[in-house]
Amino acid sequence: MFVSAFLPTITAKVHKSGTVSVDLKNGIINGTTITSGGTGYTAVPAITSTDSGTPSGFTTATLTAVLTNGSVSSITIGQGGKDYNTPVLSIAAPTAQTFNGSSSSIVSTSNNNITLSTAQKNSWVANDSITYNSGGGTAIGGLVSGTTYFVKTITGNAISLSATSGGAQLNISGVGSGTSHTFTGATATATAATLNGALETLTIGEPGFGYTGSSLTITFNGISLPGLTGVAPSVTVGLDSLGRLNKDVITVNSEGRNWQNLVGTAPANPNATKIASVDMVGLADKNFLVAPTISFPIPQSKDATGAFLSTNVTATAIFTLNSDGEITGTTITNEGSGYINDPILKIGSAASNEVRIADQQEIIEVNCNHNHVDTLITEVKTNPVQATGSIMTSTGTALKFLPESKVKVVNTNFRTVINNNYKQRKGTENFFTSPRLYNTNQTIEFLGSKTLQTIDSSDINNNNTSTFVHIE
pLDDT in single tens digits along all 472 residues of the chain: 233 345 678 899 999 999 999 999 999 999 999 999 999 999 999 999 999 877 778 999 999 999 999 999 999 999 999 999 999 999 999 999 999 999 999 999 999 999 999 999 999 999 999 999 999 999 999 999 999 999 999 999 999 999 999 999 999 999 999 999 999 999 999 999 999 999 999 999 999 999 999 999 999 999 999 999 999 999 999 999 999 999 999 999 999 999 999 999 999 999 999 999 998 877 656 788 899 999 999 999 999 999 999 999 999 999 999 988 888 889 999 999 999 999 999 988 887 787 754 444 444 444 444 444 444 444 444 444 444 444 444 444 444 444 554 444 444 444 444 444 444 433 444 444 455 555 445 445 544 555 555 656 566 566 554 445 554 4
**Is there a single domain that holds both residue 78 and residue 184?**
yes
* pLDDT computed for residue 324 by the predictor: 86
**Is there a single domain that holds both residue 315 and residue 352?**
yes
Q: Comparing C-alpha atoms, which of 62, 74, 2 is closest to residue 35? A: 74
Domain count within the chain: 3
* pLDDT computed for residue 190 by the predictor: 98
Distance CA 62, CA 442 (A): 71
> In degrees to the nearest 10, what's the CA dihedral of 429, 435, 441, 445?
10
The answer to whether residue 450 is domain-embedded is no
With vertex at residue 435, the alpha carbon angle to CA 433 and CA 439, rounded to the nearest 5 degrees, is 145
pTM: 0.61
**Is there a single domain that holds both residue 343 and residue 330?**
yes
**Is there a single domain that holds both residue 337 and residue 352?**
yes
Residue at which a domain ends, from 333, 356, 379? 356
The answer to whether residue 113 is domain-embedded is yes
**Is there a single domain that holds both residue 190 and residue 202?**
no
Distance CA 238, CA 421 (A): 67
* pLDDT computed for residue 280 by the predictor: 85
* pLDDT computed for residue 278 by the predictor: 93
* pLDDT computed for residue 309 by the predictor: 96
The answer to whether residue 78 is domain-embedded is yes
Domain of residue 71, residue span: 27-195
The answer to whether residue 238 is domain-embedded is yes
Residue at which a domain ends, from 265, 291, 321? 265
The answer to whether residue 395 is domain-embedded is no
Residue at which a domain ends, from 307, 338, 356? 356
**Is there a single domain that holds both residue 54 and residue 188?**
yes
* pLDDT computed for residue 335 by the predictor: 97
Distance CA 154, CA 64 (A): 29
